[in-house]
Amino acid sequence: MAKLYKLGRNISEVEVQNISVNGIWLYAKNKEYFLCFKDHPWFENALISQILNVKLLRHGHIYWPELDVDLELESLENPEKYPLKYR
């Protein structure tokens, strides 16, 4: 019978979990977020490989280098504080 070993710590602090016709499911810092294309149009016509290439730079700063897009996790948790459109 095989012994089960405890895996190491989770080093993936941010990852794209799914891409649908409506947007992107993002897992970051132990929370899941949905980024709809309506509110985040930079991703709608991007290549899958560009969307999957995401990095957590510092304290909740998420960056997609190939798309030159960066977001703060705070803006996903409290979008009303971060309007994306000029009024």
Is 86 a member of any domain? Answer: no
pTM, to two decimals: 0.77
Is 65 a member of any domain? Answer: yes
Instruction: List the CATH number of the domain containing 69.
Output: 3.30.2020
The string of pLDDT tens digits covering residues 51-70 is 999 999 887 899 999 999 99
Overall number of domains in the chain: 1
User: What mean pLDDT do residues 22-41 have?
Assistant: 94
In this prediction, residue 25 has a pLDDT band, given cuts at 50, 70 and 90, of very high
pLDDT at 2: 56
Backbone CA torsion sign across 23, 34, 68, 56: negative
What range does the domain containing 30 cover?
14-81
Checking if the pLDDT of 86 tops 50, the result is no
